Amino acid sequence: MSSMGEDEVSSFFESSPPLKKMEDILQKLNGFIELNSSGGRRRIVCVTSGGTTVPLEQRCVRNIDNFSSGNRGAASTENFVKAGYAVVFLYRSGTCQPYCRSLPDDPFLECFQFPDNTNIQGICLSFSIYIHRFIFNQMFCTAVAEARLLKLPFTTIYEYLQMLRLIATAFKDVGPCSMFYLAAAVSDFYVPWNSMTEHKIESGSGPLDIRLAQVPKMLSILRTNWAPQAFCISFKLETDSKILIDKATKALGKYKVHAVVANELSTRKEEVVIVSSSGNVVVRRDSDKPEAIVEDNLIRLIVDRHSTYIKESHT
Ligand code: 9Z3
């Protein structure tokens, strides 16, 4: 990492608005890590999920958003918990949650209401949604009760990067048993806080010109400074499949992560490619099983690779 890059990263953090409830977050985080990783009890993974926003005003009315439903992060979290990991789920407020991915948006009590017409199919559907929710709620409660899942929400790019830094520094002592699985869609461009207008941008005076600065790349700093021993998986999203693998391969070399998961927007639920120094592996959803998701196979492979990494780092 050039000192130029490090300078940019430092000035990004120095000029960021301070993280609210930082003490509270740190306390939860350290307690969670202590409980799960002391004595090498459990592996721990930070799953990032959802898109970051870039505010256009300090008292924000408008922002630029990055696409991500949070489904990948939520589904991956469930699979990591199943594989015995403790998960710090760093997610965008309002996006998909583990154990509730396929449920309707309506409030919990609506599950108890029958449709107006006594249509038997409707009633069965209501019941099956209720049962589904009940079972997943139980799994969620178990995961939280057993202290296997810590959920930390973010909205802006400022919050996301500050929280990622907190988590990475807190993971430092966990060493090779820790992992970063960076599925969040992170803004590449932003309005620096100091050059941002405080109040709502006025309309009615013609087109709006905004100059966006580049968000400094934190991945290299995470790898080299924050948590150098952690196993690190990043994602590459493209809409043009022709450039996807090339971009992912470049990211692998540039950021020195252990693997890059490459996905194309329209096929991301069916297929991803794990790009790493040991070659490219296509991972597909088992299409013969209707309930299967691509994350079932993806997480299995990632967990295997993490096991190899842990073994190798002990020798
Ligand atoms: C991904 O590529 C995720 O797989 C998706 C998941 C966001 C596509 P959904 O949340 O979708 O299930 O709807 N995440 C990383 C996207 C990203 O911004 N990557 C950056 C890049 O491609 C690197 S950090 O340059």
Do residues 264 and 239 touch, judged by C-beta distance below 8 A? yes
Do residues 257 and 234 touch, judged by C-beta distance below 8 A? yes
List own/partner pairs for 21-29 with CB under 8 A and 24 or more apart. 22/162, 22/166, 25/152, 25/163, 25/166, 26/166, 26/170, 28/150, 28/152, 29/88, 29/150, 29/152, 29/166, 29/167, 29/170
ipTM field? 0.96
Query: What does the block give as tokens for 193?
Result: 């806080």
Domain boundaries, the chain: 3-231
For ligand 1, atom 22, name the residue with the nearest CA. Answer: 236
Q: What is the average per-residue pLDDT within 61-79?
A: 96
The dihedral sign for the CA sequence 8, 11, 17, 20: positive
Query: What does the block give as tokens for 262?
Result: 């490459």
pLDDT at 229 over 60: yes
- pLDDT, residue 120, reads 67
Calculate how far, in angstroms, residue 149's C-alpha sits from the geometric centre of ligand 1: 22
> Which of ligand 1's atoms lies nearest the C-alpha of 188?
25
Give the pLDDT band (50/70/90) at residue 146. confident
- Could you tell me what percent of the chain has a pLDDT over 70? 90
Amino acid (one-letter) located at 24: D
Give the pLDDT band (50/70/90) at residue 108. low
Residues 238-285: tens digit of each pLDDT: 999 999 999 999 999 999 999 999 999 999 999 999 999 999 999 999
For ligand 1, atom 18, name the residue with the nearest CA. Answer: 185
Segment (H or E) for 245: helix 241-255
Instruction: Find the helix packing angle between 157-171 and 22-37, rounded to 10°.
Output: 40
pLDDT at 1 over 70: no
> Which of ligand 1's atoms lies nearest the C-alpha of 75?
12
Which CATH number describes the domain made up of 3-231? 3.40.50.10300
> Which of ligand 1's atoms lies nearest the C-alpha of 95?
10
How many whole angstroms separate alpha carbon 258 and alpha carbon 295? 18
How many whole angstroms separate alpha carbon 291 and alpha carbon 81? 18
**Look-up: residue for tokens 């929280």?**
163
- pLDDT, residue 109, reads 46
For ligand 1, atom 17, name the residue with the nearest CA. Answer: 185
User: What are the start-end ranges of the E strands in the chain?
Assistant: 44-49, 53-55, 63-65, 86-92, 149-154, 178-182, 189-190, 213-214, 231-238, 259-264, 271-276, 279-284
Residues 95-107: tens digit of each pLDDT: 999 988 876 555 5
Q: Rounded to 5 degrees, what are φ and ψ at 245?
A: -70, -35
236 CB within 6 A, ligand 1: yes
Residues 148-206: tens digit of each pLDDT: 999 999 999 999 999 999 999 999 999 999 999 999 999 999 999 999 999 999 988 89
The CA radius of gyration of the chain, in Å to the nearest whole number, is: 21
> Which of ligand 1's atoms lies nearest the C-alpha of 70?
10
The conformation of residue 285, written as its DSSP 8-state character, comes to -
237 CB within 6 A, ligand 1: yes
pLDDT at 111 over 80: no
Cβ neighbours of residue 196 under 8 Å, at least 6 residues apart?
Answer: 55, 56, 57, 58
Could you tell me whether strands 189-190 and 86-92 are parallel, antiparallel, or unpaired per DSSP bridges?
unpaired
- 11 vs 284, residue with greater confidence: 284
Calculate how far, in angstroms, residue 313's C-alpha sits from the geometric centre of ligand 1: 29
- pLDDT, residue 156, reads 97
Give the pLDDT band (50/70/90) at residue 215. very high
